[in-house]
Amino acid sequence: MSYTDPGFWLLLAATLGVFAAAPVGWRPAALLASSLIFYGAPDWHRLIWLGAVAALGLAGCEGGRRVAQATAMILVGALVLVKFGDAAGLGLPPAPPGYSFYSFTMVAHLVDRARGQAPDTRGIPFLLHVAWFPKLLAGPIERSKAFVPQLGTLAIRPGPAALGFTLILSGLLKKLVIADNLAPVVDAAYAIPAYAAPLDLIMASYFFAFQIYCDFSGYTDLALGLSALVGLQLSRNFDRPYLSPSVTAFWSDRWHITLGRWFRDYVYIPLGGSRHGSVRRTLNLMTVFALSGLWHAGLGYGVGWGFLVWGLLNGAFVAAENLLPAGRPGMLRPLSILLTFHLVLVTWVFFRAATVSDALLILRRVAAGLADLPAVLPAYPFSTAQMMGAALIALLVAGELACRDWPARIVALPQPLRWAAWYAAMAVLLLLGRWQGAGFIYAQF
């Protein structure tokens, strides 16, 4: 079920109505029922996958420390099989959207239970932690110790509900107005890169960086906003990532924060982290980034070597930064941000291109065309879509430079100004939103 589907908004309205009328103790059950309807409505077979992961996780929690650890490994192995079963010729059925994310959620809970760091959760709270629909398809990856204690105090409150509504508008604006208006420009240039003009490839590469950011952070804003309507606070997953002063900061503190912490806590640290010298630390880092790259592969992408290159490049950048002296003068921060953005931009080319060969071709053609830009730019026949996309990116960047957390700022405004901002956002959605656009990119992974 898509967030642009009228059926979803009818389900949400019904859920909020039942939730508000239900006694506090029954509210988690109402949210679980709506989550199962949301996930199973497009294809009820999805519920078999979700139920299997939940049942396996519950059995693992009941069996003690070693059983929990073994069950976590089984879930990881199942994820690998699902990802690469087709490439290996096993003929396994494709996994449904969100499978990776609720598998990661369950692995985290099992490992935390084995470590004594997660609550003994069963029944509806256990199932809702796994199946809560706003985070089901693409995160955030919530830890049970943060999520489950909130279930006893669920309620619709004016402050969180206002913030939730603002975050929902933010998510829709990012996805439908920015990401989905950038997508056609990216698709056209990357479809046949050998025949695209170098300037078109340059613009498409910049556009994709913001397309994937707005697509993914838009989903997160929706997840946080929908949860806030009923009093649930989910983890922040993005923090102005393209203003990061280093690739290390980009991955550790600003982009897909909950997945980064998942890899840190359940892969990097168990491998030894940074405790055994620089060589071992570099090897551990490269392992984590290689696994992250491979995680994006599969599910219709084949082996996805471009994703592996994307992961290894990011790992190499982080490893190189670890060799540099700590700290950077404040006056160099803007240059550090600009350099970091372009390093990440190069890696996105491998992420988006159909093949590694296409990615290398795009980078070669872009590099060859840079010297001609001063002569080409003044007379270049930019399309309406390109000019609109550039304007949308400029507005986004200006907004993020001006304010770190604009949804909270909107909620803090006097009521007339807050309503004016909401109406303005809805008008932009109606005028510029691409309501028939594609689904969320990360729901594929």
User: Within this chain, do residues 275 and 418 fall inside the same structural domain, yes or no?
Assistant: yes
Percent of the chain with pLDDT over 70: 95
For residue 97, give the nearest of 437, 436, 442, 352 by alpha carbon.
Answer: 442
Can you give the pLDDT at residue 294?
Answer: 87
Q: Is residue 290 part of a domain?
A: yes
Q: How confident is the model at residue 445 (pLDDT cuts 50, 70, 90)?
A: confident
Can you give the pLDDT at residue 302?
Answer: 44
Report pTM: 0.94
Q: Torsion over CA of 352, 357, 359 and 364, rounded to 10 degrees?
A: -170
User: Within this chain, do residues 123 and 184 fall inside the same structural domain, yes or no?
Assistant: no
DSSP, residue by residue, 322-384: HTSPS---GGGHHHHHHHHHHHHHHHHHHHHSSSHHHHHHHHHHHHHHHTTHHHHGGG----H
Q: Is residue 178 part of a domain?
A: yes
User: Within this chain, do residues 148 and 180 fall inside the same structural domain, yes or no?
Assistant: no
User: Within this chain, do residues 97 and 120 fall inside the same structural domain, yes or no?
Assistant: yes
Can you give the pLDDT at residue 331?
Answer: 65
| Single-letter code of the amino acid located at 102 | Y
User: Within this chain, do residues 187 and 143 fall inside the same structural domain, yes or no?
Assistant: no
Among the candidates 103, 130, 153, a domain finishes at 153
Q: Is residue 103 part of a domain?
A: yes
In angstroms, rounded to a whole number, what is the distance separating the alpha carbons of residues 364 and 349? 12
Q: Is residue 10 part of a domain?
A: yes
Q: How confident is the model at residue 404 (pLDDT cuts 50, 70, 90)?
A: confident
Neighbours of 123 (CB within 10 A): 11
Q: How confident is the model at residue 301 (pLDDT cuts 50, 70, 90)?
A: very low
Q: How confident is the model at residue 298 (pLDDT cuts 50, 70, 90)?
A: low
Among the candidates 124, 153, 182, a domain finishes at 153
Percent of the chain with pLDDT over 90: 76
User: Within this chain, do residues 149 and 178 fall inside the same structural domain, yes or no?
Assistant: no
Can you give the pLDDT at residue 299?
Answer: 45
Q: How confident is the model at residue 405 (pLDDT cuts 50, 70, 90)?
A: confident
Among the candidates 129, 153, 177, a domain finishes at 153
Helices and strands counted in the chain (H then E): 22, 0
For residue 71, give the nearest of 58, 82, 60, 55 by alpha carbon.
Answer: 60
For residue 76, give the nearest of 98, 106, 46, 113 by alpha carbon.
Answer: 106
Measured over all CA atoms, what is the biggest interatomic distance in the chain, rounded to whole angstroms? 70
User: Within this chain, do residues 360 and 436 fall inside the same structural domain, yes or no?
Assistant: yes
Question: Which residues constitute the domain of residue 379?
Answer: 159-440
First to last CA, the chain: 17
Neighbours of 71 (CB within 10 A): 24
Structurally, the chain folds into a number of domains equal to 2
User: Within this chain, do residues 26 and 142 fall inside the same structural domain, yes or no?
Assistant: yes
User: Within this chain, do residues 419 and 313 fall inside the same structural domain, yes or no?
Assistant: yes
Cβ contact 212:256 at 8 Å = no
User: Within this chain, do residues 18 and 114 fall inside the same structural domain, yes or no?
Assistant: yes
User: Within this chain, do residues 119 and 186 fall inside the same structural domain, yes or no?
Assistant: no
In angstroms, rounded to a whole number, what is the distance separating the alpha carbons of residues 257 and 260? 5
User: Within this chain, do residues 182 and 310 fall inside the same structural domain, yes or no?
Assistant: yes
Summarize the confidence of residues 189-197 as an average pLDDT. 93
